[in-house]
Structure 1
């Protein structure tokens, strides 16, 4: 404001303030009605523009009332979305409904109206379980130090692409980090035991002390 009142050019002001001259030009042009330039009024106008530029999203009071009614009727967010789409009504995705619900934006509903009471859990993973060796947590504590050779970590790696059930069994020796991978047709316990036998056959007897 002071430099502008002194009659300095935008480039001179930019050099003095360490800004690009285009930034100064835009600021002055944006507040051309505030002649002479007034820093306080310019800041106030900026804050008003920022508040007006915040997107309102898809939230409406009317839609909130409809969502609350359906949730109280034990409809799941997925069912609500599908029904609204079938009737040609504007709607949001089910993830948005869950987000509004957990954020408390649906004032007349809470997670207790969901069929799973907000405690939906994924079923325990049963694929790839195999009865080979002991869990790492069950091994002697001295094994964790990685001072001795012959203690292995076993795991499976599955591609997230396509519909193939194929995967790879991985074997890592804890001390040397020696890595071995055996391809398997699926994640069954039988396939894992076969892969273990193939891996073990590649090394002398005694190399696999624990796995």
Structure 2
């Protein structure tokens, strides 16, 4: 079928549309009759939507379309919008962005980067700032601020004074080599746990983030004990074998009880008497010292919201989230993914061995 060109509906179009909707015509039929794309009809239906109260004993309400209301809202938007809506000429780009943000949980910035790298020829190109503005003023059919990972969940910040209840188990972050702080060297990680619904979820996720590439490793633990963390690192060491000390050169953690067994986490399970890595502990209640870890945890929360019980999550669910994060386009890396950069570092290590 020939692709419909974009045009604005006028009042006569809206009256015809209202009549056809009330007569039971389908959206595709109305779009064909008015010579517009079906997305135009869907957006217009949202613009002129109201709740119609039917006569009768129960006074039921049903959603209806009003041509008058649709025209008023169109005129109101036209008065203050300034330049024309660029994306209105490109329903393919609008649908692509909606799918990336709503279904695949991308940020608007990442969605635009994915569109640019997709190889699809879109008719228009918009900036991140313009996309946020379009979402704010309700240009999209399904996409609103509620679908955005950060904007929809902003809360008032409260400041609490906290006191650490026990001493750190190992070396302080103050003794961490400066090369780690600069993020120029590969193999230095931050580690944290992501917990489910308090008082319900027994399991937790052990999350490791590589500081240079932001590569992510997620392991599910049966419980939140220090022994489970050590066992998880043992499994990771067996997986990487001789490469483990080169890939996991150091790990920075907070002072949670799950990280209290510093000796167990540092010692090798393959080579008795040897260290497999070096542990550094953040200052009390200083999560910003594991900034990469904290940012990655927000990405996990897009899939497992805070307060959700994830005892039932299977290994393939966790593997999907890990891959999604590693394949996510990053602005800091010119929209390359962490997976690409991580693979390059592993290849470099292998080349040095030969």
TM interval, shorter chain, is 0.3 to 0.5
Q: TM-score by structure 2 length?
A: 0.22
Q: TM-score, normalised by structure 1?
A: 0.36
